[in-house]
Amino acid sequence: MIIPVRCFTCGNVIADKYLIYLDMIAEGVSEEDAMNAFHLNRFCCRRMMLTHVDMTDLLLKFNPADTSVLNDPVAANFGY
């Protein structure tokens, strides 16, 4: 979903750094160097950045009114 505003463990603000972090990763900077640039030294904050999966774009494609998924045998396994 959306990156949490604060770290779950220590409460450090991390959401304002996430888009810049993604840009740095896309430019080829290592994850370690990118997090060091933001002074994210705690393991908990690093975990929040490394393990976050942004599913917003995927969920925006979901349309509950779409009935074409009913004919899909793979989707039938998931109860759609």
Mean pLDDT of 73-77: 60
Domain boundaries, the chain: 1-55
Q: Tell me, what's the pLDDT at 77?
A: 61
Mean pLDDT of 55-61: 76
Residue closest to 17 by CA, chosen among 36, 8, 1? 36
Query: Is residue 44 helix, strand or coil?
Result: helix
Q: Using one digit for the tens of pLDDT, what is the confidence trace for 16-26? A: 999 999 999 99
Q: Tell me, what's the pLDDT at 74?
A: 62
1-55 folds as: Arc Repressor Mutant, subunit A (1.10.10)
- The whole-model pTM stands at 0.68
- Lowest-pLDDT choice from 30-34, 57-61, 67-71, 75-79: 75-79
Mean pLDDT of 59-77: 67
